[in-house]
């Protein structure tokens, strides 16, 4: 089984971004690099981890990044005022809102507020509609797009393939199904109520695990020579990071698979950088 490492895909995207940055500087000397605003409420460990990773990635690509941090007990009205200020700041090229937000904040309202041109992770209704319509001017959720990037960077054909996605969230499952359809795949979306989940998954030529359950998928779910893409990020009983796939058990069946950590997650922040550059192009 070949491991599909995210670092190699990320490096290719970095090269594209830095080429674009150089062209931008050549066309308009002295222009500031595009700026990402990371908006965080509270101190959730997974938010802090993602923020650190995204900040490091942006800076290594030569992009600007600034975190806007608010207390976990901020009121709905106060947060919306603060978010509106970030959203309208002409120096901010794109926004990454770390979710879920605390319960006192109406997340749906904030999703409606975010400017579609700055909505790099595709959380607002305008970008969601564009993804489902196949309109490439919209921003798809970065994790969903990262799956496509991993497959394409490793020259894994998607067109005509049987793709099964385990998970139906708006973060991965549903938007990824649309991106796969756009690539002419035949897509099946599975979830906890799917009858014969194991049998359905075994038919997949490309199996995407995005259920959010540690080591949920083992050899019983994987067909011969399948490509397994693990989107899950979980913590196992020993406190170690793991995916939705029990990687050791599928090694004899899968032809290729992404590890966790070091797989799709490493590409997600690179896609965020790619989206930031696109937002900069579209705003000029």
- In sequence order, which residues have a C-beta less than 8 Å from that of residue 268 and are 6 or more positions away? 142, 143, 146
Q: Are residues 62 and 158 in the same domain?
A: no
Q: Are residues 146 and 230 in the same domain?
A: yes
Residue 10 is assigned to a structural domain of this protein: no
3-state secondary structure 124-189: CHHHHHHHHHCCCCCCCCHHHHHHHHHHHHCCCCCCCCEEEEECCCCCCHHHHHHHHHHCCCEEEE
Q: Are residues 146 and 111 in the same domain?
A: no
The per-residue pLDDT for 235 is 83
Sequential pLDDT tens for the chain (284 residues)? 999 999 999 999 999 999 999 999 998 898 899 999 999 999 998 899 899 999 999 999 999 999 999 999 999 999 999 999 999 999 999 999 999 999 999 999 999 999 999 999 999 999 999 999 999 999 999 999 999 999 999 999 999 999 999 999 999 999 999 999 999 999 999 998 999 999 999 999 999 999 999 999 999 999 999 999 999 988 888 888 899 999 999 999 999 999 999 999 999 999 999 999 999 999 87
What CATH number is associated with residue 154? 3.40.50.720
Question: Total structural domains in the chain?
Answer: 2
What CATH number is associated with residue 106? 3.40.50.10860
Residue 9 is assigned to a structural domain of this protein: no
The per-residue pLDDT for 12 is 96
pTM exceeds 0.85, yes or no: yes
Q: Are residues 161 and 243 in the same domain?
A: yes
Comparing CA positions, the residue from 36, 44, 2, 1 lying closest to residue 153 is 2
Residue 195 is assigned to a structural domain of this protein: yes
Q: How far apart are CA 263 and CA 225, in angstroms?
A: 19
Residue 16 is assigned to a structural domain of this protein: no
The per-residue pLDDT for 28 is 87
Q: Write out the residue range of the structural domain in which residue 47 sits.
A: 29-115
Comparing CA positions, the residue from 195, 255, 193 lying closest to residue 229 is 255
Residue 131 is assigned to a structural domain of this protein: no
Residue 232 is assigned to a structural domain of this protein: yes
Residue 274 is assigned to a structural domain of this protein: no
Q: Are residues 84 and 152 in the same domain?
A: no
The per-residue pLDDT for 237 is 82
Q: How far apart are CA 140 and CA 129, in angstroms?
A: 10
Label residue 222 exposed, middle or buried (CB < 10 Å: 0-12, 13-18, 19+): buried
The per-residue pLDDT for 238 is 83
According to DSSP, the residues that pair with 256 across neighbouring strands are: 2, 227
Residue 56 is assigned to a structural domain of this protein: yes
């Amino acid at each position: 089984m070949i491991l599909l490492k995210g670092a190699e895909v990320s490096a290719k995207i970095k090269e594209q971004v830095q080429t674009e940055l150089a062209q931008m500087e050549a066309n308009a000397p002295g222009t500031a690099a595009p700026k990402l605003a990371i908006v965080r409420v509270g101190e959730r460990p997974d938010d802090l981890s993602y923020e650190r990773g995204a900040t490091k990635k942006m800076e290594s690509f030569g992009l600007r990044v600034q975190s806007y941090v608010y207390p976990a007990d901020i009121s709905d009205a106060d947060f919306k005022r603060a978010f509106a200020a970030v959203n309208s700041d002409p120096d901010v090229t794109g926004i990454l809102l770390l979710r879920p937000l605390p319960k006192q904040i109406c997340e749906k309202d904030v999703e409606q507020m975010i400017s579609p041109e700055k909505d790099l992770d595709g959380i607002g209704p305008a970008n969601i509609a564009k993804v489902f319509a196949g309109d490439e001017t919209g921003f798809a959720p970065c994790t969903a797009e990262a799956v496509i990037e991993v497959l394409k960077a490793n020259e894994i054909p998607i067109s005509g393939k049987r793709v099964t996605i385990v998970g139906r969230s708006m973060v991965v499952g549903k938007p990824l199904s649309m991106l796969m359809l756009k690539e002419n795949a035949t897509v099946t979306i599975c979830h906890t109520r799917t009858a014969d989940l194991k049998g359905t998954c075994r038919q997949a030529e490309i199996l995407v695990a995005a259920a959010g359950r540690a080591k949920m998928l083992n050899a019983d779910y994987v067909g011969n020579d399948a490509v397994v893409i693990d989107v899950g990020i979980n913590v196992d009983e020993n406190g170690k990071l793991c995916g939705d796939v029990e990687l050791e058990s599928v090694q004899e069946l899968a032809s290729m698979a992404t590890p966790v950590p070091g797989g799709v997650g490493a590409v997600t922040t690179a896609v965020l950088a790619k989206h930031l550059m696109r937002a900069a192009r579209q705003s000029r």
